[in-house]
Chain A
Amino acid sequence: MKGIVFNLLEDVVSEHHGPETWDALVEASGVSGHYTSLGNYPDSDIEALVAAACAALSLDRSTVLRWFGLNAMPLLAERYPTLFEGHTTTKTFVDGVNDVIHAEVRKLYPDAVCPHFRLSEAPEGDLLMDYQSVRRMCALAEGFVVGAGAYFGEDIGFTHEACVDHGDRACVFRIRWAPALGGAKAA
């Protein structure tokens, strides 16, 4: 897992619950806790930190990951404004997840292992998004998408139609876009 994710997690936890909560999570989870965005760290570190948060807040893993993704979005926009440039809707932003966002991530971190999303449009205009990753972080992805909607000020509908956590082979997200303002429909 890229160091940037740990940095984001630290920032989100510190912002919402204070830096001492992060200290407590680091100590409770037994991880080294020194993360730089340039480095790569074991996936087990993020799982241990999430597990510690679950325990401290009595929440399940998915809820913690979704909360993290949702609240990380404004921080991401602050740190990497170029990823958001030119986008005014969640739809165009999410449509570019593979070709724009992850491509930019690879420029910064050539060894980054980004998930690939298979995107397709449902007949009624919804976006269908397949997610397949050994990390099983579909909830984090959901948090990011919903967080992006919040960032662009749109009320989008997110349904987790299939999920590996429920025995499905892959996760499928259905995203319903906010009705376009003034009748203009995003291409």
Chain B
Amino acid sequence: MEADESLESIKARYERRLARERQARLDAESIAETQTTALYHQKRYLELIESITAVANLDNDPHVVFRHALDRIAAFVDWPIAHVLIVTGRGGRRRIASGSIWLGQDRPEAAPFVRASEAIVFKGSVGLPGRVCDRRRAIWIESLVADPNFPRAQVAYDCGLRTGFAFPVLVGEEAVAILEFYSTRPSPPDTGLLHALEQIGLQLGRVVERQRADLAMKKQNRALVRLAKEAAAQAQVAEAASRAKSQFLAVTSHEIRTPLNAVLGMAQVLSQRPLSPDDLEMAQGIRDSGEMLLRLLNAVLDYSRIDAGTVEARAEPVNIKGLAAQAVRLWTSRSQEMGVRLRLEVGDQVGDELRLVDPGKIEQTLVNLLSNALKFSPDGSEIIVRLMADDDPTRLRFEVIDGGPGVPEADRNRIFEAFEQTADGRRAGGGGLGLAICRGNVEALEGRIHTDRDEQGRSRFCFTFTGPPTDGVAASAPQPLVSTERPAGKTLRILAAEDNAANRRVLELLLGQLEVRLVCVEDGRQAVEAVQSQAFDLVLMDANMPVMSGIEAVRAIRALGGAYRDVPIQMLTANVFDDDIQAYLAAGVDGVLRKPIEVPSLYAAIAAAGEVRDLKSAA
């Protein structure tokens, strides 16, 4: 091609090529400058976003952060008027009104616009705020006066405002506030800035979100504090009620035991007298019913201690095999009367070793189960008490198998709750406390109690208890707890301090059958005076007496000089809670006899006093 070209045309072609290349360079420079400018703006927008984000991250008060954003954005665009509007309600009930956060509201020329903006409430898509809310985007109005949807156009124009933009503060999809800005110069839209403002709106939204979470948490905290206070108040009320209940039980128990003592004592004395068979039966009936009343009273008191959680197991070395044998022996005659055979089976692995247990709780549990078994076993059937070793060498297991119908499977847990009885249980009588007391005892003994059927399908109640073996073997079978023989020998001198006349009479009747000279006084002071005026072999001291209580009298006697102070004293009282007994012993009594009077215990104490006297006279 070139060979045919004239020099002129080659020159012209080179010039055109040069022109193309120059133009390409100019284009490149222009593009580079435009992009550099764009980058510069972008950098400034980023700085703006960053400066507002920094404050939004630090401050949790939306008003403070909105205020800061107004200042920064207005300074960025160099516009004089800025305003925050708050969005309330949603959907058709959405309202947008001034949040009274302003920039430039003090400019006199802007006053009418500020007033108009404070007065107006935007509903629906009305005005710049309504539109921003709807679209959740930043909007720029280049000419306010020409805009068809800007209700404040005239007042804005009168105040010299020409251009405006606004952007939403978004919490998720919800616009919660609008920030609007106004300029006195007509300004074309800046899409880069609008984009940056939308980013800022999201950052401001996070502050509102945090504040909402904060408020919700505080509200929840207040609710929790209130609940805690209520719970504390309820606990106080419950504690007070519980104290009142304990107090009530203590008082009632004493109040009931005192007359019951007289009823039982007199009935006992009466039944020992020569009576016609009818009279004897009635006297026996009074005694039986009184004893039943006493058992019920004891059960209620036991259960109240279990219910109050104040039950603690003692640990005494006990021969469990002996204890089981004794319990069975005590119930044998009763079973025979009812035509039921009662026998004890002891596993090979259970020996005569002593174990650390609370014998009272085991006895009571066993007796309750035996008494239940007797209630449900028909004439001609059999009750078996089994004592067996457990897999755990520190534990033993009792089973009471009866000839009754047993407990339906559905009721097997329920019956160990207080006042829960099966239909059969109600028919058989009882207060519904026996098994609850058993459960309380067994739990205090770190064991378990349940009911099921044995391998032959017989009704069975089982309980385990913890009783670690101790060194030593029981020397012999346990002695009967008390002698039922009447003490014999020389006349004993007994002082009884008792304020209740019926109970004094009971004592006179009971002791009248013995070789005893009884002196009765009516309060503690009289008792203290009596022991100083004559010698006694035994003092029976009631606890609750007018003038001077029994416990004060004991202390006074023990504080006396000479031989008086050593007189044996037995508390004879209906107040026999553990705390009471500890207090009597601390005051210096030799023993505690409970009311209603258990005659064998009373006689045993008298016999013991007789022995002491004999020893003294022998020495």
Contact = CB atoms under 8 A, between A and B. Distances in A.
5 contacts: A18-B2, A23-B16, A36-B28, A38-B31, A39-B28
A55 interface: no
Nearest to B16: A23
B590 interface: no
B13 to A, nearest CB: 5
Contacts of B27: 34, 36, 38-39
A69 B23 CA distance: 26
Given A23-B17, A33-B20, 7 more contacts: A18-B2, A26-B20, A32-B20, A34-B19, A34-B21, A38-B28, A39-B31
A26 B13 CA distance: 11
A158 interface: no
B218 to A, nearest CB: 47
Contacts of A21: 1
Chain B interface size, as a band, is: 10 to 19
Contacts of A18: 2
B275 interface: no
Contacts of B229: none
B426 interface: no
Contacts of B482: none
Interface string A1-23: 00000000000000000111101
Contact of B24 (A19, A23, A24, A34): A34
A117 interface: no
B41 interface: no
Q: Which residue, of B23, B24, B31, has the highest number of chain A Cβ atoms within 10 A? A: B24
B32 A38 contact: yes
Nearest to A18: B2
Interface string A28-47: 00001111111100000000
Contacts of A20: 1-2, 13
Contact of B17 (A19, A36, A39): A19
A20 B28 CA distance: 23
Contacts, number: 37
Contacts of A19: 17
A22 to B, nearest CB: 8
Contacts of B24: 34-36
B185 interface: no
B243 interface: no
A36 B25 contact: yes
Contacts of B23: 32, 34
Nearest to A110: B35
Contacts of B1: 20-21, 24
A35 to B, nearest CB: 6
The 10 closest A-B pairs by CB, nearest first: A36-B28, A34-B23, A34-B24, A38-B31, A34-B20, A33-B20, A36-B24, A36-B27, A38-B28, A23-B13
A27 B16 CA distance: 10
B10 to A, nearest CB: 8
Q: Which residue, of A24, A27, A32, A38, has the highest number of chain B Cβ atoms within 10 A? A: A38
A34 B27 CA distance: 8
Contacts of B35: 38
B41 to A, nearest CB: 15
Interface string B1-33: 110000000000100110111111101100110
B11 to A, nearest CB: 12
Contacts of B2: 18, 20
Contacts of A37: 28
Nearest to A41: B27
A23 B35 CA distance: 30
Nearest to A33: B20
Interface string A76-107: 00000000000000000000000000000000
Interface string B336-354: 0000000000000000000
Contact of A36 (B13, B16, B19, B31): B31
Nearest to B17: A23
Nearest to A35: B24
Nearest to B1: A20
Interface string B92-129: 00000000000000000000000000000000000000
A23 B5 CA distance: 13
Nearest to B24: A34
A32 B23 CA distance: 10
B32 to A, nearest CB: 6
Nearest to A38: B31
